[in-house]
Structure formats: C-alpha cells, structure tokens
Amino acid sequence: MEVIIQNKTEDACHLTARLIADAIRIKPNLVLGLATGRTMEAVYGMLAKMHQEEGLDFSRVITFNLDEYIGLEPEDPCSYRTYMNEQLFNHININMANTHLPLGNAEDPDAECAAYDKKIADAGGIDLQLLGIGRTGHIGFNEPLSALRSRTRCKALTPGTIEQNAPLFDDPKRIPRRAMTMGVGTILESKRCLMLVTNAEKADILAKAVEGPITSMISATAMQLHEHCTVIVDEEAAANLEQKEYYNWVFANEPEWEKYQD
C-alpha cells in the first residue's frame, strides 16, 4: 500500500483522475472499476473535461461499478446507475453497453450478484478499481463483518450508512435498507486499486483503515492485503496518520511518482 497526501482536496481528486486517464491511455480497453459518493464527483468532472479538452478516449473502456441499492429501478433518480450517467457516462464517449452496475430491481438479486461476478471474470477481471470509503470504513457496501473473501452479494446497510446517504434521497424514508455490492474478495482480485479519501470527517476512519489491524469490521482494512493499492488523500483526511512523514518522503523521492509532482 502507498499513501499520497495532497495539500488540497482538488489536487487529490486531480491526481486520481490523472492516474485513471494514464491507465486508459496505456490500455484503451481498460476494465475500470468505479465508485459512487460525493467524493468522486470532482474526479468524474475532471475525467469528463479531459475527454472534452484532451480527447481522452473512453470508446473501448469497460466499467463495473461497486454497488447498487436493492429495489431501485435503474431510472430512479437516486439509483447509482443514474448517478453514474449524470456524473460521468453522459459526458464521455463511452459505449453504454460497456457500463455495468448490478441491477437494483432484479427479480432474483442473488442470481444477479453471481452473474455480476461472472461478467467481471468474463471481461478478464478489473484492471483498475476506484474506491472511496464510507464513514463506517466500508468499501463498496461491505458493511461490518463482511468476509474478507466475500463475493458480490446482497448486504444489509447499517443505520450509520443509511443516515450518511439519506440526504441524497428526496424522501429519506425511501432509502433502501439493502444493497448489492462487490465483495471484499472480488475487490481484492482487481489488479490495481486507487482509494480516494478527502475531508476531515474521514480522518479517523482513514487512519484505522491504513494503519490499524486488518478486520472484517472495517472492510477498508482489507486493502492492506492488496498488492498494488494507492491511497490518495487530502491534508484534512490525513490528519490522524502516524507515518505521514514517511509517506511524504516516498512520494517525493520514488521515481515512479516523479511525473506527478507538479
């Protein structure tokens, strides 16, 4: 795992967008794992701008989102499908047939989850997975006690997660209590992971995720098991990290990061 601390939130988002764009330039048919949440909105705005201004080409990119609420139709204004269309897909030249999210209103959610893992495998696995972190320390919707080897499946949301995401619903009572989410094991199979964490409200959970013991109570700690996970944070989110100086030294001195110094 490596941790990159950027002074400003905007810089953390920009570095994340640049790393995704570079991965697409190297492999135009990249299999890209995507995340939702307020943190990602700036990243998607920057990627859309790179498409419009620099011709970043998404025509062959294949995407898989981490999760979707159970019970919402894709067209629901609060579904993650709508979020993705509005934040990113409608602004780039992606082939919509290549964009995947679990179907929230599937008749058989368990079968939908199993089929989702199969689709990922059939695409050759995820090359680059973008991740945020929930206030409870979840990745995707892998709530406490998510097995570290779990596959895409249905998961009940904690009251804390429901409260955190309720403002995004017109009527907070409409927020589903369950979601389909890639499993921790599914996420760990991605070839590379980029975790973006910003703002002071995430400082406590980020320190636990990166420097605390691995536990299924905080699924983000599982990223310590991943061979190539880069955690990008702003100063506020980095506030409680003990080894800040070490992370800063690595970023400033390791040759692979040289071109990202500006």
Residues forming the site for ligand GLP (CB under 6 A): 35-39, 66-67, 132-134, 140-141, 161, 165
Instruction: Supply the minimum distance, in Å, between the C-beta of residue 104 and ligand GLP.
Output: 13
Instruction: Supply the minimum distance, in Å, between the C-beta of residue 246 and ligand GLP.
Output: 26
CB of 69 or CB of 247, closer to ligand GLP: 69
**Is 253 in a helix, a strand, or coil?**
helix
Instruction: Supply the minimum distance, in Å, between the C-beta of residue 98 and ligand GLP.
Output: 21
Instruction: Supply the minimum distance, in Å, between the C-beta of residue 215 and ligand GLP.
Output: 18
Enumerate the H helices of 65-132 as residue ranges: 80-87, 109-122
Residue 250 tokens read as 């690595």
CA atoms of 237 and 51, how far apart (whole Å): 29
Residue 85 corresponds to which amino acid? N
CA atoms of 259 and 262, how far apart (whole Å): 7
**Is 218 in a helix, a strand, or coil?**
strand
CB of 93 or CB of 164, closer to ligand GLP: 164
Instruction: Supply the minimum distance, in Å, between the C-beta of residue 39 and ligand GLP.
Output: 3
| β partners of residue 233 | 5, 197
Instruction: Supply the minimum distance, in Å, between the C-beta of residue 67 and ligand GLP.
Output: 5
CA atoms of 129 and 91, how far apart (whole Å): 20
| β partners of residue 63 | 32, 99
CB of 85 or CB of 93, closer to ligand GLP: 85
CB of 104 or CB of 140, closer to ligand GLP: 140
Instruction: For residue 83, give every residue at least 6 positions away whose Cβ sits within 8 Å of its Cβ, in sequence order, or none.
Output: 36
CB of 109 or CB of 132, closer to ligand GLP: 132
Q: What is the DSSP letter of 166?
A: G
Report the Cα–Cα distance between both ends of the chain, in Å, rounded: 22
CB of 28 or CB of 172, closer to ligand GLP: 172
